[in-house]
Amino acid sequence: MWSVIGHAPALAALERAVEGGRPAHAWLFSGPEGVGKRTAALEFAAALNCTGDEKPCGACRDCRDTLAERHPDVELVAPGGLCDEPDHREHTESRELRICQVRRLERVLSLSPYAGARRVAIVDAADTLRAEAANAFLKTLEEPPAESVIVLLVEREERLPETVLSRCRRVAFRPLARQTLVEVLTGRGAPPEQAEAIAAAAGGRVGWALRVLADPSLLAERWQMLEEVVRLAHAGRVERFAWAREAGSRAGEVRERYLREMSAWEDWWRDVLLVGAGTSEGALNSDRAPVLSEEGKLYAAADVVAFLRALLQTRRYLQENVDPQLALENLTLDLPRPSRGGRAR
């Protein structure tokens, strides 16, 4: 029994693969962070090894061990995980998947299943694979070991080489309807007014909504970040540099905070690009539709695309321990400027 909330088309595709008995060897689950991809991947892995009648049954040992993330045949790979290199067995500070992790995964997948019918690898944040790591992974995707299934979880498909994308069966996990989120949140004990506020800000991401329900400060933090991105886009260089100077501390929590801000900014500027192109379908910040509508009129699409690339590079700099103030000062130089006068309200 699938516990994933929503995503009926995606789950139907996975059910057919399980029932057919010959699932594709490589899958790509794409969608925004917090939308339910990882939960679906774990339940898919459970279903592939499930010994019950209805797969995943959730009750057999294979299902229980998989969902508890302790099954010997289900490998979970994420930035900061283990590798086999003798001089660096883990990279706890890394925000990207490294080639040494890919090599370890290849070795694990080459082993015969120990307890279940298949070995399953779930690769989280697969869109953080650098070019050399992605290329090293190609051979495994092209010639996967028998009885193995690989699931790549990505937020942005375009960050992966086409050579990787073309070897995977794609399953899209789209943002959920706002009313669905309201029902989920009220079912978890949220008062109606709070459920409405969180659902409006979640952009269809059920995982994010549940995290905010547990920690309401995340909602205020998001609001501040989005206020800041609009303010700085309309500000002069002095004001932009003053903002960057606030990141002068090298403390770990400062870096983490700005990484979250870069993620929020990326969602915002993608929404600006969408609205500027004449559509709001798929926008993650629909609760700020009036501001988006005005901002979408002010920027050239090429400038926004260039800034999105700069944002991606800045996130990498922050992950690689570049001085945060320097990285953010450089980023402010790339911020798009309104092409016409007027500030959105």
Tell me the domain boundaries of the chain. 8-172, 177-215, 216-334
* pLDDT for position 311: 92
Closest by CA position to 67, among listed 35, 37, 44: 44
Q: Name, in order, each residue with C-beta under 8 angstroms of 128's C-beta and a sequence gap of 6 or more.
A: 79, 95, 96, 97, 159
Residue 343 has a pLDDT of 42
| Superfamily holding 8-172 | P-loop containing nucleotide triphosphate hydrolases (3.40.50.300)
Tell me what pLDDT residue 214 has: 95
Helix, coil or strand: residue 151: strand
- Record: fold of 216-334: Zinc Finger, Delta Prime; domain 3 (1.20.272)
Helix H or strand E encompassing 134: helix 131-142
pLDDT of residue 251: 56
* Chain segment 50-93, per-residue pLDDT in tens: 999 999 999 999 999 999 999 999 999 988 777 777 666 556 66
Segments of the chain with pLDDT less than 70: 86-94, 248-252, 340-345
Closest to 44 in 3D by CA, of 141, 134, 118, 145: 118
pLDDT of residue 280: 83
**Nearest residue to 116 via CA among 76, 69, 63, 38:** 63
* Equal CATH topology for 8-172 and 216-334: no
Residue-wise pLDDT for 188-242, tens only, equals 999 999 999 999 889 899 999 999 999 999 989 999 999 999 999 999 999 999 9
In the chain, DSSP assigns E strands to 26-30, 74-77, 119-123, 148-154, 169-172
- For 172, the token pair is 């899209």
